[in-house]
Amino acid sequence: MKTSTLLFSLFLSFIFITAQSQNSFEVTKTGKGQPILLFPGFACTADVFDDLIPELQKNYEVHAFTYAGFGDVPSISFPWLPQIKEEIVQYVIQQHLKDPIIIGHSMGGTLGLWLTANSDKYSHLIVVDALPAMGALMIPDFNPDALQYDNLHSQQILAMDEPAFADMADQSAAFMTSNLQKQKVISNWIKTSDRQTYVNGYTDLLKLDLRDSLKKIRTPVTILAATQPYGKEQAEITYKKQYKNLKQYKLIFAEGSGHFIMFDRPDWLKEQINTVMKENE
């Protein structure tokens, strides 16, 4: 009887430990103070925030994320993005994070919108060049239900040999920043990503449409948006259209910056984040 009880206890302990673990991301934690969650964009690692973290960790507890399938983090099953979202919810609970601030770039900003639409526990969301519905911007007659993993575009990327995939990565990186050195960094992140995650994870992102969910957000939101490559006027039209259901937010443009504002306008980005932090105190 004692043996059976012991085995049952060990079994329950195993379930608890398994439930407590996160497989869809890894986190590097530094500093002390109010928690900040740093969510990178698609295919990027937490290193995208390398210039921000030293300053932030002086006064805050910084949690920098890298998603499964990118960097050195093993890939996971699909759907990919919903797992990340749900495990972040659990992470915040398990780490007993009080009034966390989210800073999310690109997909990380979209992820921040998703989290704040479902919870009021976040004290501020800083969105860095991100939209609630990327698919609606990129796909004519957008219908998220019509997007499947097995599509012609995905098949083509999966079938690419390494040189062709590397060329695609180089072209993508050049489109997103004018910083030549950082173009190489971005390209390398893409090249070293898990190919299946790169394809299916991007489909997950394109399928996500949070435009109606914006109505539920009560967390203060600051949006820091790039103006390149299409210019400020077009960027402003896009942002105001996509965020029309968000009751209140600040929209600030990084003049002359591409998608990776932290690479094209690093000092500007730090200044804007510092301003938000002071207002949030």
Read off the pLDDT of residues 217-246 as tens digits, 9 standing for 90 and up: 999 999 999 999 999 999 999 999 999 999
Q: What's the confidence (pLDDT) of residue 45?
A: 99
200-209 tens-digit pLDDT: 999 999 999 9
CA angle 42, 43, 46 (to 5 degrees): 90
Q: In the chain, which residues have pLDDT < 70? A: 1-21
**Residue 2 is encoded by which pair of tokens?**
């004692």
Please name the residue that has the structure tokens 């077009």.
Answer: 234
**Residue 146 is encoded by which pair of tokens?**
């019509």
Please name the residue that has the structure tokens 């539920």.
Answer: 216
Spatial distance between the Cα atoms of 145 and 210, rounded to a whole number of angstroms: 14
Q: What's the confidence (pLDDT) of residue 104?
A: 99
Question: Any idea where the domains of the chain sit in the sequence?
Answer: 25-279
Kind plus residue range of the DSSP H or E element containing 274? helix 266-280
Q: What's the confidence (pLDDT) of residue 154?
A: 96
> What one-character DSSP code corresponds to residue 222?
E
Q: What's the confidence (pLDDT) of residue 22?
A: 73
Q: What's the confidence (pLDDT) of residue 235?
A: 98
Q: What's the confidence (pLDDT) of residue 189?
A: 99
| Backbone torsions φ then ψ of 259, nearest 5 degrees | -55, -40
Q: What's the confidence (pLDDT) of residue 21?
A: 57
Beta carbons of 124 and 220 less than 8 angstroms apart:
yes
Other Cβ atoms within 10 Å of 2 Cβ, number: 6
26-55 tens-digit pLDDT: 999 999 999 999 999 999 999 999 999 999
Q: What's the confidence (pLDDT) of residue 4?
A: 46
Q: What's the confidence (pLDDT) of residue 222?
A: 99
Residue 43 CB contacts under 8 Å (≥ 6 apart), including other chains: 70, 189, 190, 193, 198
CATH of range 25-279; options 3.40.50.2000, 3.40.309.10, 3.40.50.1000, 3.40.50.1820: 3.40.50.1820
Q: What's the confidence (pLDDT) of residue 94?
A: 97
